[in-house]
Structures are given as C-alpha cells and as structure tokens.
Structure 1
C-alpha cells in the first residue's frame, strides 16, 4: 500500500523548461546537515528515579580503585584570592595508595608552574608526610601531616595530594563513606546525600548518578581549627560522552595504550576553599600506568645550599621523605 504522502497528484501540465541543476543544492545540503546532526546527537543520559538506585550506581562507578598503580596528569588552574589572581599549570604524577595485604602508601609529586613557564613550587607527599620546595625563594619545608603542612604553607588544600590524585581519576573511595545518613531530592532530579561523621559532609549526584557537588570541612587539629580550618566546596562539570581514561604500558622500549571503560569523569572542577580562595581546575590530560614509577622519578631533590625546615620539628631526609634512622631511634629527638 502506497502512503498518501507518496501518491501521485494531478497537476496542470506546464511548459517544459530547462532544469536548473544548482537550484537543488541548498535543499540537498540542508537534508545532509539534518542527517549529520541526527547522527552526532548526544546519547541520552540514564535517569534514576530513586535515591537508593542512584547511590548504588555511584558506588559501582565511583567508589572503585583505579585499575593501575600509577598515574600522570596535567591540569591548568585559574586561581583567585581576594584581589589577586593567577593562572597556574600543574603536573601530577606518582602512585596511588595500594590497599590490602602488604599495602604501599601513596607517593605523589606535584609541580606548579606559572603560565609564563617559571617554576613556582615542587611538592611531594610520601609515607612520612609532605615536603615542599619553592625555587624562587630557595626555601624548603616538611611536615608529617600532608593536610596541616599544606595549610601552614598557605596552600588551601581540603585534603591530601594522594586523595586529590585519586579523585582526579574517578576514585571517591577514601573521601565518601560507604553509607549515607540523609538524602534530599532536588528539583532538577538530583539527589543530595549527607554524611554525619565524615570529612565530606554532602555529595550531590545528578540524575545520571554523576558527582555534581561535594562539600566538607578541612580537618586540622583543634588548635588550628579557627585559623586553618574552614568549609570548602567542589563543583564538577564537563563530563565526556565516552570514557576518556587510558592506560599505558611501556616495555622493551615499546609503549602500548589501552582505553578503559570507567564511569565518566569531570573535566572541570570549581573549587571554593577556606580564606576566600577560588579556583577553576581544568584537567588537560590524565593517564594510568601499569608499571610503578622508578624511585628517582618521584624523589624531590634540593640544591645543596638549601636546608629544609621541619614545620613539625621532626628532621627528615628531603629526597625520600623518610625520617633518618638516627632520629627514629632517638627518644630525645624533637
């Protein structure tokens, strides 16, 4: 049966005229554009109609460890603090916490550069805390607590470099508890989950169970709470349509690259931190590595003229972050 729209209709015969071949091009181009746009349309996001289901999807996608021990990432940070602003380039690399039997603590390096190429700082978090070197001042500092050490140095980090490295690679396990204490349904289809006794106080998931916002309070010893503590917020945006995390393996001089299926990870983070600090962090690249970094790649070495200052009074070997054996064995050590 021929549809009505395709049936011939009776028309008056018109004088035959020479066809104009170029007259049909606009219509053909329009049709091609419509077909192309339809093929490139974004896939519809899944939608979860109750909080428990959204939470379970989040657990399965974002409370999981990265499928490789090491990583490297590059970010750009637009930073404002009061009347000051700066654009900073950040290089992250290192190894995640290896949990389970025989676990190995994380070792994370972060180098910060000005957008003009000058070195601003070099940080290392290892088993014994945080070490920081400022090349322009030729000064270096160490502290056993990576969060408190960063706050004493004026860096408004809400959690450690190791936690931040995991977060950049879609792992919220050490930040978000396994169970929530309260939940609120929001008008846009999102859910806000609350946690009573955790450093993260709320986590908002969109209707596709992707992180939208995370809030909390910087945890520092009580004597520093007023001066160095404070509430913080991270907003997540720019999720890709397809997985964008890759794993590389280099052996015998050859490098193999594999793209892995992971829950979507935000490409932009907006940070609102204690002390009026704000930042827009854009992840330019991130990559997992199947082989750990060589020890010298994550070491932090000082010029001979620089003597590190221990902010907590405990002497450390700058290169590895370890407390020297002579200090560990001495009960009279400061």
Structure 2
C-alpha cells in the first residue's frame, strides 16, 4: 500500500506532457510579454518619478521660441576668473558688438591696465596684446585660444549668444530625447549638433549645457536676473568647465541690449604698426602672453 501511494504521488509531480495547443498558448504569452517590455523601455524615463511629457514639451516650446523684439547688439561689463592646473587670473571684461558680428572684447587687470583687445568677425579673429607688443590672427577663435594655452570651446559669437539669452542661435530647434532629472528636464540632441544636451529647470531656464567631444565640456548658467518686460531672465553667471581642468567664470555686472546694430566704426580694432604680427594658423614659434 505504501509503495502504491508513493508511486501515485510521484506521478502527479511529473510535468504533464505539452500538447501542441498548450505550446502555442505559451509562445503567444511569451511574445506578448516581450512586446510589453519593449514598449515600456521606449517610454521617456528619468532619474525622478512623475515624468510629464506635456510639461517637458511645453518648457521646450517656450525656451525655443524666438522673442519678437530680439536684440541686435549688446554691451556688457563683467569680471572673469580663469583657473587651470598651470595658471589662474582675475580680469575685468568689456564685451560689446552685434550678435551676428563683428564683436569686440577687451580684457584688463584689476588696476585697469589693458591686457588684451580681441575682435571677431566673419573672416576670423584678431587679438592685440599691448604689453608684449604682439598681434595674433587666426581664422578660428577657438583654435587660436587653444594655441595660446586657453582651450576655450566657445568663440565670441557663442559667448555673446549665451550672455544675451539668444539660445535659439546656439541649440537645435528640436531635441532627440528628454528625461526628467532632480533639477529639471534634460534634452539631448542629434549627431549633427555640436552640443550634446541642455537642461532646463522646472521654470524653463537653461541651467546646464553639455558640449560634444571625446571628453565633453560643460557650461553652467546661474544667478538669473529678473526678467524684463517681454524678455526672458538672463544668467548673470556663466561657468565653463573643460576636461583638461580649465574653469572660466564670467560674472555679469551690467548688460544692455539694443534692437539696433552698432556701427562698424565702433567695433574696429586697428593693428598697431609697431606690434609683431603672428598668424596663429601658420607654423612658427612664439611666446604666448602671460596672464596678469
């Protein structure tokens, strides 16, 4: 009797033979489960719960919209701190010009002594350094600054756009994907953009921009001033950080925007006849001016 009971229990424990109908049902259930998992994986996700696609789209639409009274020119005064593993300096900045160029930027020491005068237009970059009696030229501002030991991944036009809040001239009109973070929504861009992503806070202000590269660089925006009538709030602090350890912080003291373009005469930078002219887009040895 005991043997028959054990045999009966063992038989019940054995898996039932799968019929063709049962196999088809199992396969269908597995296929549906995989499809649901794939669909869920494609949905926008982020580091914080409560992703709101409508809010993310509305913030982007407001951010990307061009102002009806977009400025044509600007003038600002600021302080600039430069920190790197090799050097550090604090300078005063005067930056002015047309947002579509030409642009002028003067750097001076805290005592008011002019250190450098830069000019950028559609043809390239010119820099005059009175203390060393040198004048540098290059077709590309970023490449020129790299040769001078300041690998800043922004030219003057891009810096002007950041300062004046003309983000639509920097970033693509559409984003590729978006995710929610603890500080806002991070929008990423396609392969053709030189920028990797921008993060908008929950009020729609751009607070973090990431550039592309083997090791990406970033720009942090903060200390936003109260918005003027019909205009968006502008960052009073622009901080650039590069993978090589260079950190540049621009603190805006005064910014004026104008709907009219500046005259060419107010943006000229004559090449001093006594200065040594050094084309940085050609090979050759030179001594880069030391920071004050």
Q: Which TM bucket (shorter chain)?
A: 0.7 to 0.9
SS of residue paired to 2:216: strand
Partner in structure 2 of residue 53 of structure 1: 58
Relative to structure 1, the CA distance from residue 291 to residue 186 in structure 2 (aligned partners, 3 Å threshold; closer, same or farther) is: closer
Q: CA deviation at 1:281?
A: 1.5
| Residue 128 of structure 2 is aligned to residue 139 of structure 1 | no
Partner in structure 2 of residue 232 of structure 1: 217
Aligned partner (choices 103, 106, 123) of residue 108 of structure 1:
103
Aligned partner (choices 71, 76, 94) of residue 74 of structure 2:
71
SS of residue paired to 1:173: helix
| Residue 158 of structure 2 is aligned to residue 163 of structure 1 | yes
| Residue 210 of structure 2 is aligned to residue 182 of structure 1 | no
Would you say the 8 A contact 1:239–1:265 is kept in 2?
Answer: yes
Would you say the 8 A contact 1:108–1:298 is kept in 2?
Answer: yes
Would you say the 8 A contact 2:133–2:276 is kept in 1?
Answer: no
Partner in structure 2 of residue 192 of structure 1: 186
TM-score (norm 2): 0.72
Distance in 1 (alpha carbons) for counterparts of 2:105 and 2:260: 19
Relative to structure 1, the CA distance from residue 121 to residue 217 in structure 2 (aligned partners, 3 Å threshold; closer, same or farther) is: farther
Partner in structure 2 of residue 33 of structure 1: none
Q: CA deviation at 1:138?
A: 0.8
Distance in 2 (alpha carbons) for counterparts of 1:237 and 1:211: 9
The Cα offsets for residues 291-322 of structure 1, whole Å up to 9 and x where unpaired, read as 433323211123221142222249xxxxxxxx
Relative to structure 1, the CA distance from residue 295 to residue 206 in structure 2 (aligned partners, 3 Å threshold; closer, same or farther) is: same
Aligned partner (choices 82, 85, 89) of residue 86 of structure 1:
89
TM-score (norm 1): 0.64
Partner in structure 1 of residue 168 of structure 2: 173
Runs of 4+ in 1 over 4 A off after TM superposition: 63-66
What's the RMSD between the two structures over aligned residues?
Answer: 2.3
SS of residue paired to 2:82: strand
Partner in structure 2 of residue 330 of structure 1: none
Distance in 2 (alpha carbons) for counterparts of 1:65 and 1:107: 22
Distance in 2 (alpha carbons) for counterparts of 1:274 and 1:141: 26
Would you say the 8 A contact 2:118–2:125 is kept in 1?
Answer: yes
Higher helix share: 2
| Residue 124 of structure 2 is aligned to residue 129 of structure 1 | yes
The Cα offsets for residues 210-249 of structure 1, whole Å up to 9 and x where unpaired, read as 101001036xxxxxxxxxx852111111122342xxxxxx
SS of residue paired to 1:136: coil
Distance in 2 (alpha carbons) for counterparts of 1:116 and 1:275: 30
Q: CA deviation at 1:192?
A: 0.5
Pick the structure with greater CA Rg. 2
Distance in 2 (alpha carbons) for counterparts of 1:214 and 1:49: 22
Partner in structure 2 of residue 201 of structure 1: 196
Would you say the 8 A contact 1:66–1:171 is kept in 2?
Answer: no
* Count of residue pairs brought into register by the alignment: 231
Bigger relative contact order (CA 8 A; separation at least 6): 2
